[in-house]
Structures are given as C-alpha cells and as structure tokens.
C-alpha cells in the first residue's frame, strides 16, 4: 500500500481522536487483570500516560504530515489504533477468581 502525506495526516487525526479512550481502556484491562483497586489507581495512571503519548504522537504527525519526518518516511510516529482495538482483550473473564 502506498504511504504518503495523506496517510500520515489521517493517522495523526485518528490518534488525536482516540487518545482520550486510552484511560477507560487501561482501567478496564486493570480491572479484569488485578481488580477494582488496581483499576482505580494504576489503570488511571497508565491510561493518562498512554493518552499523553498517543495525543503527542498525533500532534507531531499532523504538524509534520507534508514532510518525511522522522526516518525519512511518511509513517506515523505511533501506530494508529481504532477504539475497538484499544479495548481488545479487556472483556476476558478470569473464572479462576470465583472458584
């Protein structure tokens, strides 16, 4: 597939739009892996960290879409992901906890 400036621009916009969803996705993953208290603290902290990374990457991609930056390509600085991909794996139930 041909990767050009338009791909970088749309990927950056997608990262900016999806960035706030990192918080509930991280909280959901923490809840299912470690329980409610972990979701409240570590899930929120991890989600905020991921939000800042994804939003920063989106800003860089939107600002630099006409030029080949970084690595002399039009590739996005962070892989783009959709809302359903963020929550993938967060619905798995751990049945061993209830035995």
- Whether 8 is covered by a domain: the verdict is no
Whether 36 is in a domain gets the answer: yes
pTM summary value: 0.79
Q: Which has the closest alpha carbon to 66: 55, 74, 58? A: 74
Q: Establish if 59 belongs to a structural domain.
A: yes
Residue 13 lies in a domain: no
pLDDT tens digit string along 61-91?
A: 999 999 988 778 888 888 888 777 877 765 5
**Number of domain units in the chain:** 1
Tokens of 65: 């879409």
Output the pLDDT for position 97: 46
- Does some domain include residue 2? no
Query: How far is residue 98's CA from residue 80's CA, in Å, rounded to a whole number?
Result: 36
* Domain hosting residue 77, numbered range: 26-87
């Amino acid at each position: 597939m041909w990767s050009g400036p338009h791909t970088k621009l749309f990927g950056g916009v997608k990262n900016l739009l999806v960035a706030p969803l990192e918080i509930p996705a991280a909280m959901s993953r923490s809840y299912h892996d470690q329980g409610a208290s972990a979701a409240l603290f570590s899930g929120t902290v991890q989600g905020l960290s991921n939000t800042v990374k994804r939003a920063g990457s989106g800003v860089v991609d939107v600002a630099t879409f006409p030029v080949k930056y970084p690595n002399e390509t039009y590739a996005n600085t962070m892989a783009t992901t959709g809302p359903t991909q963020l929550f993938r794996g967060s619905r798995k139930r751990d049945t061993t906890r209830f035995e």
